[in-house]
Amino acid sequence: MNRRGFILGLGASAALAGLAAARAAADGKRVALVIGNSAYRNVPALPNPANDAGDVAAAFKRLGFAVTLITDASFDQMRRALIALGRDAADADMAAVFFAGHGMEINGENWLIPIDAELQKDTDAANEAVNLGSVMLQLSNTRSLGLVILDACRNNPFAAKMRRALALRAADRGGLGHIEPVGNVLVAYAARDGTTALDGDGRNSPFTTALLRNIETPGVEVTFMFRNVRDDVMEATANEQQPFVYGSLSRRAIYLAGEPSAADQAGTQQANAAPAPAAAPATAVPAPPPPAMDPTLVGTWEIMVPSDRGQSRWVWNIMGDGTYNFHAEGGRAVRPHEGRMTAMNGHWTLHATRGLAGYTDGGSYEVHDPTAVITGKLGTGYWKRSLQ
């Protein structure tokens, strides 16, 4: 590309980014708190978090968020900043927290670690660290989306000196623990619970690099944006690191960088976007009701599920009339059951009627034969067509 073309390209990119931010800001008030802790006082410093936080804060600003950026935050600074964010989030359409630094699970709870923490024993966390539950609580009153993004699943150097206290209570595991957000709160881990994330060799960690590559892309629904982040990280780390998203949102599509353009909507519709209303038929004969089951999901599917007892194989047999049966084999086998399922326009629901009383689930789906990407209560799973 010649110099003139390069400059024109930069101008077009800036214009698109500005348009996306303007469209995003029109959707309602957006606030964000971004924290990057690098200069830990009692353990070795981390190279990336301050860079990660600065770059993510700039991206949030371009997306129309009012951003508070703190680097190398003490416990008191983190606490005060979260209180202020909670007040702003109460009447906001979207509120977000990004944290890069050390995070750890202690006795079943997750903690974000300030730079002044000493953590000589596990019980010190309540007085020296910030509980992830309190972070989610500050975002729970947003109207559309409360988003927590944690690049904090590293191997934690505090664990060595806490080992004696930990042995009395719980095993010392790497990374953060499993969570179940409620309401409209979505939590993204750089690495799924019980695993650790890589720092990388560049300016940003692999997770933040992927996040920055995708977060400002217009027309991509937020849950699909994190799927793109997941794939980018797994490719960059040779499948060593798998980001994971926790939480269950409603069927309403949420966009950080603006909704799809009219041209995009006329083409391939976002899988979990609400379908556009159909035009009324010209004749008085009523149109038949749409089918309850998307034919692309009909068939037998399987997924391998890891656990501390080894992998198990989950198998779903989905029929065209919406009934299904399920069985599992291996170390984390779930009880076989049957039920009814609906799936159409990228959204699915499920209700067990036999063998697993009262179980319901739902979420979004996207089929790319011979695989399907299914999101529900258990997170995002990559199913494949079974040959059985």
352 and 230, same domain (yes or no): no
Q: Which two tokens stand for residue 191?
A: 């690495």
Partners of 131 in the β-ladder: 111
Same domain (yes/no): 21, 133: yes
Give the number of C-alpha atoms closer than 13 A to the C-alpha of residue 21, restricted to the C-beta side.
Answer: 15
The answer to the question of residue 161 being in a domain is yes
Same-domain pairing of 70 and 197: yes
pLDDT at 7 over 80: no
Asked, for residue 138, whether it belongs to a domain, the answer is: yes
For residues 270 and 226, the model is more confident at 226
Per-residue CA distances from 79 to 33, 88, 137, 187, 262 (Å) = 12, 15, 13, 19, 43
Tens of pLDDT along 41-63? 999 999 999 999 999 999 999 99
Give the percent of the chain with pLDDT over 90: 46
Are 238 and 120 within one domain? yes
CATH number for position 48:
3.40.50.1460
Please write the tens of the pLDDT for every residue from 246-305: 998 888 899 999 887 655 554 444 444 444 444 444 444 454 444 478 888 888 888 887
- Does 212 or 271 have the greater pLDDT score? 212
40 and 123 both lie in a single domain: yes
Mean pLDDT value across residues 367-378: 80
Contacts of 156 (CB under 8 A, 6+ apart): 102, 103, 104, 113, 174
Predicted local confidence at residue 4, as pLDDT: 39
Question: Percent of the chain having pLDDT more than 70?
Answer: 79
Domain housing 343? 295-385
* pLDDT at residue 339 in the model: 87
> Mean pLDDT throughout 121-134?
92
Residue 1 lies in a domain: no
For residue 250, the model assigns a pLDDT of 82
According to the model, what pLDDT value does residue 196 have?
92
Please tell me whether residues 311 and 242 are part of one structural domain.
Answer: no
Based on the domain organization, do 241 and 355 belong to the same domain?
no
Domain count, the chain: 2
- Among the candidates 246, 278, 304, a domain finishes at 246
Q: What is the pLDDT of residue 270?
A: 47
Give the domain CATH number at 324: 2.40.128.490
Residue 268 maps to a domain: no
| Residues 170 and 54 occupy one common structural domain | yes
Assess whether 180 and 319 both reside in one domain. no
Q: What is the pLDDT of residues 86-121, one digit of tens each?
A: 999 998 999 999 999 999 998 889 999 999 999 988
Each residue's pLDDT tens digit, 234-244: 999 999 999 99
- This prediction's pTM: 0.64
* Contact assessment for residue 293 and residue 342, using Cβ atoms and an 8 Å cutoff: yes
